[in-house]
């Protein structure tokens, strides 16, 4: 252990430090839940009004004695109860991850099924058209409202505000620092580290810090340390002193305190669908499925790629023609730029892009190498003098990449995948980075929607490898949706 790692607070006795000021409290969490309830109620009222107006117009339902003025409030109440029953307001799922959206959809579909069955058995003549339209509009509206509320919460969390969990990290120093780094990599996830507990043997007689995280105690006083600093979550990471029996006793000690216990496994960057927990002899074994690089889902992905690319080329043909004319009028040289890239399995191919630089751009690269603004193997400059006037506009809105739809149609690329690397980059790949070549490169991907050129080389590789290991058709749709936002905001595009 170096002096740089541990430099300051917590005593050998394990007495925790005082409560840090300015942190978000449980009241903020309850406030956020109340906002969700109000949003959901508003959405449901609007959905029922849309269902009624669409089905009946301005007229009263003819030939029916159903009092819709009473049915509607009852349906709103039943819908809210269904959302509550399925944990749609549970603080463990709201604000991050896909489980919140799944629960909202499940609550709506289950209620719709229950009402349909009850109506059939009781022979109640509520209009099926009214119910069908209301549930369709309501389910979509709930998802959209949750998405909007979450985005606002994420922005607040990224600024250091908004409701977040206050986390006490427990483990040895190396694993504590690693977990802190992981949690801070995505501040919008809502896990704010407020302190750490380390083994007794590592405590110093003076106050200590792990980076900027105060050490507030040892393993002997974890519940007391959590209470003292106002933590509502204890995150346990690896340590030789935290045996199974000791961890079980910690769970017992935290019962009834309102403090959640989470265990961070050493396994990282593996998506939830690949992980299955199976209890064996009282031990929760984590089973990790192997990544899927072939099979039916790959065939479906290939079909979708070709279908969407052909449709997009047909629809965007007028825009492509306008861009080609603008490039020709702006500077000397060809309209298209063809560059050798490396695809799946190390196969080289020519990627197509609209030309955004002067014709001798490659010859000028050596002169600009010292001004590279990114680390790793790529070259990036915000104010690259080689970029033309039209080229800057095309890069800002990512329009220079439209010709890559031809590469997708030819099967050389996918709509979603890792960034297509240059042969010079691949020549310097190590064993881990080379796993990017197990799938087709994509026009867009996790790195594009997470900051593009603003990301470090290490973060870009991490995101690409995560996609390779955990790709799915649902994830592809999500990335495509986020790509529109990234393009509109021009994040990392230069």
Q: Higher-confidence residue: 351 or 122?
A: 351
pLDDT at res. 317: 94
Bigger pLDDT: 249 vs 383: 249
Of residues 132 and 126, more confidence is placed in 132
Q: Is the dihedral of CA 91, 94, 95, 98 positive or negative?
A: positive
275: left (phi over 0), alpha (psi -120 to 50) or beta: beta
Mean pLDDT for 130-136 is 90
pLDDT band, very low/low/confident/very high, at 22 (cuts 50, 70, 90): very low
Residues 346 and 485 in one domain: yes
**Rounded-to-integer distance, Cα 259 and Cα 225, Å:** 11
123 versus 218: which is more confidently predicted?
218
Give how far Cα 376 sits from Cα of 196, 204, 418, 433, 441, Å.
33, 38, 16, 12, 19
Question: Over the chain, what is the mean pLDDT?
Answer: 82
Residue 276 neighbours by CB distance under 10 Å: 11
Q: Which residues of 23-38 are buried (b: 16+ CB within 10 A; e: fewer)?
A: ebeeeebeebbeebee
How far does Cα 167 stand from its chain's mean position?
20
- Number of domains forming the structure of the chain: 3
- Are 339 and 227 in the same domain? no
What value does the mean pLDDT take over residues 127-133? 86
Q: What CA–CA distance (Å, rounded) separates 412 from 403?
A: 13
- pLDDT at residue 205 tops 90: no
Six token digits for residue 256? 């009834």
Share of the chain above pLDDT 90, in %: 37
Residue 273 lies in a domain: no
pTM for the model: 0.67
Examine residue 282 and state whether it is found in any structural domain, yes or no: no
69 pLDDT higher than 80:
no
Looking at the fold, whether 473 and 357 belong to one and the same domain comes out as yes
Residues 173, 112 within the same domain: no
Residue 284 domain-assigned? no
Strands 233-236 and 165-170, bridge-based pairing: parallel
Q: Can you tell me which residue has the tokens 């049915």?
A: 71
**DSSP β-ladder status, 283-288 and 275-280:** antiparallel
One domain for residues 209 and 242: yes
Is residue 275, in this structure, part of any structural domain at all?
no
Q: Is the pLDDT of residue 143 over 60?
A: yes
Q: Is residue 288 part of a domain?
A: no
Mean pLDDT, rounded, for 477-492: 76
Q: What is the CATH number of the domain that holds 189?
A: 3.40.50
On whether residue 333 sits in a domain, the answer given is yes
For residues 163-178, average pLDDT: 90
Nearest residue to 218 (alpha-carbon basis) of 201, 233, 236, 200 = 200
Shared domain for 191 and 129, answered yes or no, is: no
pLDDT at 461 over 50: yes
Among the residue ranges 364-378, 382-396, 475-489, the one predicted with the least confidence is 364-378
Measured CA to CA in angstroms, residue 310 lies from 349, 404, 407, 445, 447 at distances of: 19, 11, 11, 20, 25
Comparing CA positions, the residue from 216, 115, 121 lying closest to residue 168 is 216
Q: Do 399 and 323 share a structural domain? A: yes
Domain of residue 198: give its range: 165-268
**What confidence tier does 182 reach under pLDDT thresholds 50, 70, 90?**
confident
Q: Indicate the range of 15-24, 135-144, 274-283, 390-399 predicted with least confidence.
A: 15-24
- CA–CA separation, 23 and 30 (whole Å): 15
């Amino acid at each position: 252990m170096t002096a740089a790692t541990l430099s300051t607070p917590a005593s050998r006795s394990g007495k925790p430090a005082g409560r840090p000021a300015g942190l978000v409290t449980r009241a903020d969490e309850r406030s956020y839940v109340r906002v969700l309830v109000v949003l959901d109620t508003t959405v449901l009222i609007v959905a029922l009004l849309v269902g009624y107006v669409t089905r009946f117009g301005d007229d009263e339902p003819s030939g029916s004695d159903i009092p819709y003025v009473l049915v509607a409030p009852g349906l709103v109440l039943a819908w809210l109860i269904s959302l509550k029953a399925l944990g749609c307001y549970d603080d463990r799922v709201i604000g991050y991850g896909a489980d919140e959206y799944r629960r909202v959809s499940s609550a709506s579909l289950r209620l719709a099924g229950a009402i349909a069955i009850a109506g059939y058995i009781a022979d109640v003549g509520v209009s099926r058209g009214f119910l069908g339209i209301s549930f369709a509009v309501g389910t979509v509206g709930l998802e959209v409202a949750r998405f909007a509320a979450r985005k606002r919460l994420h922005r607040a969390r990224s600024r250091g505000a908004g409701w977040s969990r206050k986390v006490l990290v427990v483990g040895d120093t190396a694993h504590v620092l690693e977990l802190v780094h992981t949690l801070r990599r995505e501040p919008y996830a809502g896990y704010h580290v407020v302190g750490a507990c380390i083994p007794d043997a590592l405590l110093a007689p003076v106050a200590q810090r792990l980076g900027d995280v105060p050490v507030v105690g040892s393993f002997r006083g974890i519940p007391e340390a959590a209470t003292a600093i106002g933590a509502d979550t204890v995150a346990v990471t690896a340590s030789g002193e935290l045996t199974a029996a000791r961890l079980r006793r910690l769970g017992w000690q935290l019962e009834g305190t309102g403090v959640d216990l989470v265990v961070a496994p050493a396994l990282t960057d593996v998506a939830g669908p690949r992980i299955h927990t199976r209890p064996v002899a009282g031990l929760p074994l984590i089973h990790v499925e192997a990544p899927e690089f072939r099979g039916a889902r790959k065939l479906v992905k290939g079909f979708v790629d070709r279908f969407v690319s052909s449709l997009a080329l047909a629809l965007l043909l007028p825009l492509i023609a306008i861009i080609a004319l603008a490039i020709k009028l702006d500077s000397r040289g060809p309209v298209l730029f063809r560059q050798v890239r490396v695809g799946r399995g190390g196969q080289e191919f020519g990627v197509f892009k609209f030309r955004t630089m002067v014709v001798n751009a490659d010859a000028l690269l050596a002169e600009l190498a010292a001004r590279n603004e990114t680390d790793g193997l790529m070259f990036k400059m915000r104010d690259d003098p080689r970029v033309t006037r039209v080229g800057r506009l095309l890069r800002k809105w990512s329009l220079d990449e439209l010709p890559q739809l031809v590469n997708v149609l030819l099967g050389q690329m996918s709509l979603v995948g890792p960034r297509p690397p240059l042969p010079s980059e691949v020549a310097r790949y190590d064993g881990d980075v080379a796993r990017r070549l197990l799938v087709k490169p994509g026009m867009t991907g996790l790195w594009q929607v997470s900051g593009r050129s603003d990301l470090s080389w290490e973060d870009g590789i991490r995101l690409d490898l995560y996609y390779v290991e955990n790709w799915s058709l649902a994830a592809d749709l999500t990335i495509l949706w986020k790509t529109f936002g990234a393009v509109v905001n021009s994040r990392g595009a230069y």
